[in-house]
Structure 1
Amino acid sequence: MDMNRRTRGKWRGAALAVLLAAGTLTAAAPGARADGGRTETPVASTSPVTGVTESVVRVRAPLPESAGPRPAACDWLSYLRYRSADGPAASADADRILVAQPGILEGAGAFDSVARNTVARAAEQGVHIEFWALDRRSNCLEDRTGIASGDQHTAVDYYYRGKQVDGRTFAGFTGNGKLGWMAKLGIEQTVRDQYDLLNAELPDQTQRKRKVLCGGHSLGGVITGYFAAADFDGDRATTADAGYNQCAGYFALDTTVSTSLADLSGSLPDDTNLPDIGLGYGVVQAGLDSGVLPRSLSAPVLLNPETMTLLGIAGMGALKDPDAEASLPRYLPSNLNIEATHRVLFSKNTAAFLTGKPAVKDFRLTNGAVLGALLDDNSVPLAFLQTSIGFFDGGPIADKSFPVANGGTQQPGLYGTAYKAIPDRPQGPLYTWRNYDRVGDPDDPGHRSADGTPFTGPGEEVTDVRQLARSLAEQPLDFTEQYFPTKLVTDIQLSTSPQVKKLVVHPGGLKANPVLTVLAGEGLLAGRVPPELHPVIADGYQHLDVLTAAPTQNNGRPEPVSTSLAAFAHSPR
């Protein structure tokens, strides 16, 4: 993650941080099984991957009273539990348990596809594993009521027009003044939460050491590094509590297991409210405690919960009927955040961005095309938000030269490697979405850039648009997090400060266990892969594809990320 001031200046004005748009997801089904400080609720799913059982688990783990006032829901830890339908009901009886930390502005729901694929792949080999996709505490602030309605217009009315759903009125997005308790949600609390959850769910430490594989995606690899090096009983001489002794191995998905942000260059645009780390740890912490510094990551206009909600709403339409003409762009209210979002995501060039003409509502788009415009690597200019879900279809396509021109000087870690494209006929044909597995078919027009370069090909498309929509709109825990703790990033940025450095009690813990590193071929580390890691490279994948890819790829082969994870879980320790 490059946080230098020069790069930060490039982002200001362009406001590309809007692409962090994310949505709240559906509520868990009723009938939760409760046992004091723990609930587990089955989750119904329309996933085509069979033989996998999903539930949402919540474990009570109160923050200390010194954290200050907070919603009661924020004293619970949550995760999505995936297991083989034919496997043991008790986690302690599973052959392996993969525990995954999410990346920046990412929630447990983002792991849905890779979790299902991995559990199913292992079961084919006769191994019954579980996959736990963790949520951070900050996700507790999100209200899923509108998404849970199942109707896009109802969701828009709930979040943006003050209309009730099931007798409930949206309380509004939480401002900085009510986030005082988040001023302490840094790396220390984050790894403590993981330890406490593991200890509660699997009380036998020797069992954890044999069965648990610890890892994550993007920032989750760095969190795993801090977890491995941590000491949880305050006595470095005793090591049963050490982080590395809670895991039999580590896995990293388009990241590395480390205590540095160096390998995540481009994972976050710099037009955000992150404080200058030159202030020092004490000054930053005082600013967070007082509220002078924002306690959650955002940008002045675009990177905030109001605009983040749009992604889940778009997912609802693509899940229900990806081929139907979308009404969402015209139904959304007009305000500064939404207008800026539209312009950043759907401007052919700088002139269109500045004037707002043509606007997204001037085009006819299907629900699938709307979601593609939000997340596909041929549309979205930020690499850490890109998936490879197909391409626009149904009409003429042009090069998208905003914010950077195709074929020019690129920053792969920031903008990605794919050429950007956009529909070129406002008030024209209905633009549809060609799903990943139809790219390269005989009826594919094979759109090319003005310089003759094909925009895409079957080897560069890996994620099913409808299944991505399902992860966005059907999961009980969010695909992303609207309130990402600023302190979690500033702590890691200030890793050489005494207050953070002291957390790395067992540095040898990072190498104490086997490591599986799986990298997206066109992801954040493209072209600068550390060879000593001996990584598995998922060709054609973007940063999010390592989580969202379909179980069968266009080459007819099984999806490589889940295949590698299943093999890693199956290998002896």
Structure 2
Amino acid sequence: MLLIAGALTAASPGAAQARAERTETPVTSASPAAGVTESLVRVKVPLPASAGVRPAACDWLSYLRYRSSDGPAASAEADRILVAQPGILEGAGAFDSVARNTVARAAEQGSHIEFWALDRRSNCLEDRTGIASGDQHTAVDYYYRGKQVEGRTFAGYVTDDRLGWMAKLGIEQTVRDQYDLLTAELPDQGLRKSKVLCGGHSLGGVITGYFAAADFDGDRATTSDAGYNQCAGYFALDTTVSTSLADLSGSIPDDTNLPDIGLGHGAVQAGLDSGVLPRSLSAPVLLNPETMTVLAIAGLGALRDPGGEADLPRYLPSNVNIEATNRFLFSKDTATFLKGSPTVKDFRLTNEAMLGALMDDNSVPLAFLQSSVGFFDGGPVVDKNFPVANGGDQQAGLFGTDYKAIPAQPNGPLYTWRNYDRVGDPDDPGHRSADGTPFTSAAKEVTDIQELARSMAAQPLDFTEQYFPTKLVTDIQLATSPQVKRLVVHPEGLTANPTLTVLAGDGLLAGRAPADLDPVIAEGYQHLDVLTAAPVQNNGLPEPVSTSLAGFARNPA
């Protein structure tokens, strides 16, 4: 396990020297996907000295490398390499299932490909020591009670006053990081142009768009360094390859600390530099470093003892952040939210049911965090009409459109979890909403809760992103400003290569995808399901996202 703490440094060695420094560490996984080898790769690519003081770990770029176990050991000898940018508040660990499934599917078709899941540079701030212990109680003790794990004590969540170096981590540095990583790992530009497929999930599609249009040597007339000439094709997972956030509208909660974009680019940058504006994006509930750590801890419980009764809500310390998040997630209606009772502590849930309650599309209200992992079992449920009511004419966006449910009996039965592949079985009670609408069906469930738990808790790089650079979003929201427009040097790059677009049938772009995309639609999928879906679906067919990616890798034309 890679530990991320390090001494602060204000100066860096030259890039040419730094790129020679590289580590690759094998990753062991209990995933059922056979024939796939995973490793954690770190390459030293220092930020410029002008970035200022930062942890030494932040001068390294990291990615998870997945390859065919029967294929070549050298990336340059692979048949194709898919390089994926994560979405907003997302880390490399989120790609685990789709990466494994894609590599395995390609091998079945006779191709040995690689899948590189990139981690943004700011993820260097995350401390996974407690999660890496593999034990839920140990993790809580490490992050909340000051107890040591392997001689290490948690230094606390990083406050904004220590994130000055992140004030410049915008779209320009993000695409430069991808270019520097590619050129360090695959020095032959001709090889990159013939073998690399560039893409991403959610915001990663927009980052890919800027990468395709970028110029990296400062000379518009030379194009071997242009972004589009580092890729043989593009892929977009529930997103589009573009330079606009328009297709992802509704994906960012209104209560984040994102600054008012009525300000100009210069004013925003001055605010980030001075610390008047927050350098890292967060929200009061669920979307902040502390609560995103709780998601991974819940994953640990689901892995270690899936059917055991969860004590996580009672074992976690009580503080405003955690209590507000619990109230937001486990209130059946506005009255319950305001009253604060019953709370999640009053319900008996297995560890799997706890994770399902935090991540399933019939429970968690935020669409970009939803996956289709099954449904509550073991007791009666009722409609969850908070923060929005079930039914009506809801449009796909921040809260999604699927009906939400919540256990009905506090201090009652032990609620278990019905995994995706058991929904619709003869013993399924087939829970319905008060208006008679079924909460779910076999066709709407696609992700194995154990695979989701492994992605969240058993990867060396996080599923979520605790410190997302505010500047990355503000830059793209200010795309018409001269400071950002100048980065789109080769607009023709957006269409210079073939593109595969795969959309979640119930995801952020449901029903409103641009007509010219000719996308593959993964029916029943939510926004995260395009990354987490099981290799075989309830209809008996292979998972469509990885199948499409493997086919595209074989023939991008």
1:330 to 281, 289, 314: 314
Q: Secondary structure at the match of 1:433?
A: strand
CA distance in 2, matches of 1:374, 1:192: 35
1:91 aligns with 2:75: yes
Partner amino acid, structure 1, of 2:450: R
Report the counterpart of residue 478 of structure 2 in structure 1.
Answer: 494
1:185 aligns with 2:178: no
1:318 aligns with 2:298: no
Report the counterpart of residue 203 of structure 1 in structure 2.
Answer: 187
Instruction: Tell me, yes or no, if the aligned pair for 2:233 and 2:556 is still in contact at 8 Å.
Output: no
1:356 CA drift (Å): 1.3
2:252 to 262, 268, 274: 268
1:79 aligns with 2:76: no
Partner amino acid, structure 2, of 1:535: P
Q: Output aligned runs, 1:264-303, within 5 Å.
A: 264-300=248-284, 303=287
Report the counterpart of residue 438 of structure 1 in structure 2.
Answer: 422
Report the counterpart of residue 445 of structure 2 in structure 1.
Answer: 461
1:27 CA drift (Å): 4.5
1:114 CA drift (Å): 0.1
Larger displacement relative to structure 2 (345-354 or 99-108): 345-354
1:447 aligns with 2:400: no
2:343 to 349, 355, 359: 359
CA distance in 1, matches of 2:433, 2:73: 52
Instruction: Tell me, yes or no, if the aligned pair for 2:135 and 2:304 is still in contact at 8 Å.
Output: no
Larger displacement relative to structure 2 (149-158 or 198-207): 149-158
Q: Secondary structure at the match of 2:24?
A: strand
1:434 CA drift (Å): 0.1
Q: Output aligned runs, 1:132-281, within 5 Å.
A: 132-281=116-265
1:267 CA drift (Å): 1.1
1:428 CA drift (Å): 0.2
Q: Secondary structure at the match of 1:274?
A: coil
Q: Output aligned runs, 1:30-41, within 5 Å.
A: 37-41=21-25
Instruction: Tell me, yes or no, if the aligned pair for 1:27 and 1:148 is still in contact at 8 Å.
Output: no
1:302 CA drift (Å): 5.1
CA distance in 2, matches of 1:281, 1:272: 19
Deviations 1:240-278 (A, max 9, x none): 000000000000000000000000012111111111111
Q: Secondary structure at the match of 2:443?
A: helix
CA distance in 2, matches of 1:174, 1:185: 16
Larger displacement relative to structure 2 (70-79 or 152-161): 152-161
CA distance in 1, matches of 2:301, 2:512: 38
Report the counterpart of residue 549 of structure 2 in structure 1.
Answer: 565
1:303 CA drift (Å): 3.1
Larger displacement relative to structure 2 (408-417 or 161-170): 408-417
Report the counterpart of residue 547 of structure 1 in structure 2.
Answer: 531
Report the counterpart of residue 46 of structure 2 in structure 1.
Answer: 62
Report the counterpart of residue 401 of structure 2 in structure 1.
Answer: 417
Instruction: Tell me, yes or no, if the aligned pair for 2:93 and 2:459 is still in contact at 8 Å.
Output: yes
Deviations 1:71-104 (A, max 9, x none): 0000000000000000000000000000000000
Q: Aligned-residue CA RMSD in angstroms? A: 1.2
Deviations 1:140-165 (A, max 9, x none): 00011111111111111111111111
Instruction: Tell me, yes or no, if the aligned pair for 1:88 and 1:128 is still in contact at 8 Å.
Output: yes
Question: Greater relative contact order: 1 or 2 (C-alpha under 8 angstroms, separation 6 or more)?
Answer: 1
Report the counterpart of residue 523 of structure 1 in structure 2.
Answer: 507
Partner amino acid, structure 2, of 1:565: L
Instruction: Tell me, yes or no, if the aligned pair for 2:170 and 2:475 is still in contact at 8 Å.
Output: yes
CA distance in 1, matches of 2:118, 2:376: 34
Q: How does the TM-score come out when normalised to structure 1?
A: 0.94
Partner amino acid, structure 1, of 2:410: P
Identity %: 84
Q: Unaligned regions of 5+ residues in structure 1, if any? A: 1-25, 29-33
Partner amino acid, structure 1, of 2:430: G
Q: Secondary structure at the match of 2:302?
A: helix
Report the counterpart of residue 458 of structure 2 in structure 1.
Answer: 474
CA distance in 2, matches of 1:386, 1:266: 14
Instruction: Tell me, yes or no, if the aligned pair for 2:19 and 2:45 is still in contact at 8 Å.
Output: no
Deviations 1:177-208 (A, max 9, x none): 00000000000000000000000000000000
Partner amino acid, structure 2, of 1:537: I
CA distance in 2, matches of 1:248, 1:379: 40
CA distance in 1, matches of 2:325, 2:223: 49
Query: CA separation of 1:572/1:283 partners in 2, compared to 1, >3 Å: closer, same or farther?
Result: closer
Larger displacement relative to structure 2 (402-411 or 138-147): 402-411
Partner amino acid, structure 2, of 1:83: R
1:554 CA drift (Å): 0.1
